[in-house]
Structure 1
Amino acid sequence: MRFSKSLALLAAQSSVTVAQTNSTNSTTVPYLPLSADDHFSFILYEALSLANGGGSSTGEVMRATAKIVAGDTESFYNEFKFLGDSVHDIAESINATKFPVSAREAYFRASSYYRLSVFYMTANQSDPRLYSVWDSALADFDKAISLTEVRGERMTIKGPGFDIPIIYWKSPKAAGCGPVPTVLVGSGYDAPQEDTYHSIGREIIDRGWNFVTYEGPGQPTVRRQQGLGFIPNWWDVVTPVVDYLETRPEVDKKRIALGGLSFGGILAPLAATREHRFAAVLAIDGVQNLQTTALKQFPPALAQLYNSGNKTVFDAYLNKARVNPEANTMFKWFIGQGLWSFATESPYDWFTRLGGINLDGTVLSNITSPVFVGKGEDDKVAGGQEEVVAKLLGDKAYLYEFKTALGAGEHCQLGAEQQLAQVSLDWLAEVFEAVK
């Protein structure tokens, strides 16, 4: 699940107001609606897309879709929790020694369904399910990666004042041919690192490279286990991981790439402005500043209220809006997730800090490696920011537009992950080949 994908719905519904009810149709999105609630439809589509990398089953997701009541977040929780529990029980019933593939695939799906079930729970930060169900998701994912042909290894790296959880997949090619390229990938605003394995991780491993994921402050597990919100100095998250990677004998130190998905498309380039050991950076997609995007999609009165600097009134307005039963799901989630991921109770504080995570020309001029800038043709959230980022990067940028006609025009190529991998990783392979 990716924040900026969800924000695309806010862009499509440019007249969002506190009093707006959930849409009775989903004509604002370019794919077949899965719910009368636009935001539910979007997240259910994300659930389906996980199937491309073994993270869900279309039949299981579609059954949950048929049972979920539009706009009812408890219904959303109940149906995916039911799927998580049921598929977990199946996994537990399998003799994993005799049938490791069957057990692995069931554990992967159960883990995804547990993660999906608590997607809307961030609106109530004291809800115990936000934590207990997450623990179930992590446990099942760990069981799954212990059964993969290329085993995933979970470990913790020490950062400056926080711990950085990573998952490391060592390429089997490294044993026979020495050090191999390594791709370090970070997720975004609300997606966990576990999702990344299903979206692009298997494709990286299939190319014979080491694959590593990580999370920093504000991201799902770090936020839960350490209580930390997003920070603007993202290099402090990435640099300790690179330090660790350079100690691994199977890592080709000259061929390490950093990727970022969704909000990670800002975080990865931001880290690369200070951390210069990367052969390349993947910004999928190339967003520059999410606060800027959101302000353009806010109702004019709300944007004016924020720009006035009146923190007290802005806080009161959004805190009232996010509990208003008449407000649409997207709007309520947008506020609740922002407060959660920045570990604050003040909407003004969250939104101001969001604006501080920014890629301008001065910042981007510090990047020394080539940057793949992805763009979805139908990506409303970026609003042309991909072209701005590419222009500011100059000859260091490679801008690629994914086409809606081929089902790849959504932000981060949701549902067309194979196309994303083909284009971005083939580009990356050529970059690796050119490294001396």
Structure 2
Amino acid sequence: MSRSPFRFSENVQFDYETRLALGAAWRQGADVGEVLATAAAVADGDGGAWFTAWAELAARTAERAGRSAAEGRTVSARDGWLRAAGYAGTALVGVDAVADPARRLAEVFPQHRAWFDRFLRACDPPAEPVSIPYEDTSLPGYLVGPPGGSGDPLPTLIAGNGSDGPVSSVWTLLGAPAVARGYRVLLFDGPGQQSMLFDRGVPFRPDWENVITPVTDFLLARPGTDPRRIALAGVSQAGYWVPRALAFEHRIAAAVADPGVVRVVDSWWHQLGPELRGLWETGDRDTFDRFLREGLGQDPALAATWRWRARPYGIDSPFDLLTEVSRYDVTPVADRITTPLLITDPDGEHFWPGAAQELYDLLPGPKRLVRFTEAEGAHLHCEPMGRALFEQRVFDWLDTRLTTA
């Protein structure tokens, strides 16, 4: 994955999650010492131990935040709630490796959201919980604004999450830097994402314009939204959802895909290899499912990661799952994208290597490809430990685009 000499876990996914947690410290979403101590305790990559260690750290952090709140220490409480929420979200990455994942998910996920809610209520000004009309239901979210303000309409960033990250993560990756620059930010869970999945059982969908269009409608109906300065940014798998939505929703002034994604299924084949892909392409569903399940049965860690990543699609058959994921392809609609789009392209991108350049080449409209290198310390998927550099490059570009919108 990288030439870096640092390795925090024998499990590739847990190693990456540790880096993501360390990067969150830039926006007070973690403490470096807490992260390193916890990661060192579970460096052998055992999924059950990972879940337990991070869940216990989250609970201890929340307990201290509660004591600070009771004593009127609002800053300590606010920062503690955010760290607690982030650590609980990190724990959930390993939930499918524990003996009773459904029960532990039902315990820890509500705690994660409650702690994040308390953090947002302690912000200045407090965030506003919102309910976004969506088909026959609604999408839960938060509107977070900068301190003070003249009452004039603000630029608004729609912060799009990826396939399995918690809302606390998209806050530190996109929301906090936007608010610090005077934006209003909309955080929300779409279909298949965390609260929509865990609480309501709503799976992913490939046609993300049917999510972003009602979100945009919602914002435009709100006072304080400048209709000329609505931006959309997305991390991880939202590197597909952002351009997909832009192909149909043209009220967005500027957008960011971190990283660029063309075909979501490529990340699956990159991990599974050409032999399994060839078997899938034969159309022999039963043989493919049997072969893959046998392989997963021999590798419990891989099986747990598979279950975690497959969960948002709601499909049991591996063959049918990959058939569904293959529908997430922006190629047929890329020529409709006219919104200025910044695409990140980090060294060591291990989910969608090469996709950022491919997406850039497909776009007919205004575009920018931004490299992040290992020499800068800003490499790997979503630049987990290069957050200051990411913010400077990406938000400087967004500021320029929204100023001239």
Match of 2:335 among 365, 368, 379: 365
Report 1 or 2 for greater relative contact order, CA contacts < 8 Å, sequence distance ≥ 6.
1
Percentage of identical aligned residues = 26
**Which residue in 2 is equivalent to 1:132?**
107
**Which residue in 2 is equivalent to 1:387?**
357
The residue type equivalent to 2:229 in the other structure is R
SS of structure 1 residue aligned to 2:227: strand
Offset at 1:134? Answer: 0.3
CA contact (8 A) 2:338 2:364 kept: no
CA contact (8 A) 1:218 1:342 kept: yes
Distance 1:192 1:95 in 2: 24
Q: Mind listing any 5+ residue stretches in structure 2 that lack a counterpart?
A: none
The residue type equivalent to 2:326 in the other structure is G
CA contact (8 A) 1:80 1:113 kept: yes
Distance 1:69 1:398 in 2: 38
**1:254-269 superposed matches below 5 A:** 254-269=228-243
Which is worse superposed, 274-283 or 93-102? 93-102
SS of structure 2 residue aligned to 1:158: strand
CA contact (8 A) 2:270 2:351 kept: no
CA contact (8 A) 1:258 1:280 kept: yes
Match of 1:351 among 308, 322, 344: 322
CA contact (8 A) 1:338 1:351 kept: no
**Which residue in 2 is equivalent to 1:312?**
286
Q: Deviations over 1:98-132 (max 9, x none)?
A: 21100011111111111222212246886211122
Match of 1:119 among 73, 86, 93: 93
**Which residue in 2 is equivalent to 1:46?**
20
Q: Deviations over 1:251-306 (max 9, x none)?
A: 11111011110101110111111111100111111111121343244333211111
SS of structure 2 residue aligned to 1:94: helix
**1:14-413 superposed matches below 5 A:** 30=4, 32-68=6-42, 70-95=44-69, 98-122=72-96, 127-172=102-147, 175-176=149-150, 178-324=152-298, 327=299, 329=301, 331-360=302-331, 362-413=332-383
Offset at 1:181? Answer: 0.6
Q: Deviations over 1:370-394 (max 9, x none)?
A: 1111110232332221111111113
Which is worse superposed, 339-348 or 311-320? 311-320
SS of structure 1 residue aligned to 2:314: coil
Distance 1:311 1:30 in 2: 40
SS of structure 2 residue aligned to 1:167: strand
Q: 1:77 to 1:423 in 2, by over 3 A?
A: same
The residue type equivalent to 1:319 in the other structure is R
**Which residue in 2 is equivalent to 1:20?**
none
Q: Mind listing any 5+ residue stretches in structure 1 that lack a counterpart?
A: 1-11, 13-27
CA contact (8 A) 1:154 1:166 kept: yes
CA contact (8 A) 2:339 2:365 kept: no
Distance 1:433 1:96 in 2: 43
Offset at 1:398? Answer: 0.9
Q: Deviations over 1:126-170 (max 9, x none)?
A: 621112210001001111111112322222212114421211112
Q: 1:205 to 1:328 in 2, by over 3 A?
A: same
CA contact (8 A) 1:259 1:283 kept: yes
TM-score (norm 1): 0.88
The residue type equivalent to 2:121 in the other structure is S
Distance 2:304 2:255 in 1: 30
Offset at 1:44? Answer: 1.7
SS of structure 1 residue aligned to 2:185: strand
**Which residue in 1 is equivalent to 2:384?**
414
TM-score (norm 2): 0.94
**Which residue in 2 is equivalent to 1:8?**
none
Q: Tell me the number of residue pairs that the alignment of Structure 1 and Structure 2 aligns.
A: 404
Distance 1:243 1:338 in 2: 30
Distance 1:94 1:100 in 2: 7
The residue type equivalent to 2:347 in the other structure is E
Distance 2:114 2:28 in 1: 17
CA contact (8 A) 1:186 1:193 kept: no
The residue type equivalent to 1:430 in the other structure is T
**1:3-22 superposed matches below 5 A:** 12=1
Which is worse superposed, 150-159 or 243-252? 150-159
Q: 1:108 to 1:296 in 2, by over 3 A?
A: closer
SS of structure 2 residue aligned to 1:404: coil
Which is worse superposed, 293-302 or 304-313? 293-302
Q: 1:265 to 1:176 in 2, by over 3 A?
A: same
Q: 1:264 to 1:148 in 2, by over 3 A?
A: same
Which is worse superposed, 120-129 or 414-423? 120-129
Q: 1:166 to 1:425 in 2, by over 3 A?
A: same
Which is worse superposed, 40-49 or 420-429? 40-49
The residue type equivalent to 1:343 in the other structure is G
Distance 2:254 2:190 in 1: 20
CA contact (8 A) 1:338 1:350 kept: no
CA contact (8 A) 1:284 1:373 kept: yes
